[in-house]
Amino acid sequence: MTKRKYQSKAERGTNFQGHYQEGDFIEDLDCSYGQACNMLRKSWIKLKIAKKNDDELSLEEAKVTINRIQNILGLPITEWVEEYDRDNV
């Protein structure tokens, strides 16, 4: 029997229920709940790309967008930890 590498959301206890449900229209974002989740997913992708390209402006924009969408959806807000450059310490 093969061990599963990942646990389901229910097993991890991270199945967050925000203020909205699938199909609800979110006026603050001018889209449906599903579209808002997709916006959040794409913002995380933009964040990863900005980190990879060392683009500080895009990185900060992605962080603000992620936190804004999380706040509107009633999800836990990500707390950003500033990374330091080890060469300049």
Residue among 58, 76, 57, 59 nearest 67 (CA): 76
43 found inside a domain: yes
Domain assignment present for 2: no
pLDDT in tens, 30-65: 999 999 999 999 999 999 999 999 999 999 999 999
**Residue 71 lies in domain:** 21-76
- Establish if 5 belongs to a structural domain: no
Q: Answer yes or no: are the C-beta atoms of 46 and 62 closer than 8 Å.
A: yes
What's the pTM?
0.72
**Would 15 be classed as within a structural domain?**
no
How many structural domains compose the chain?
Answer: 1
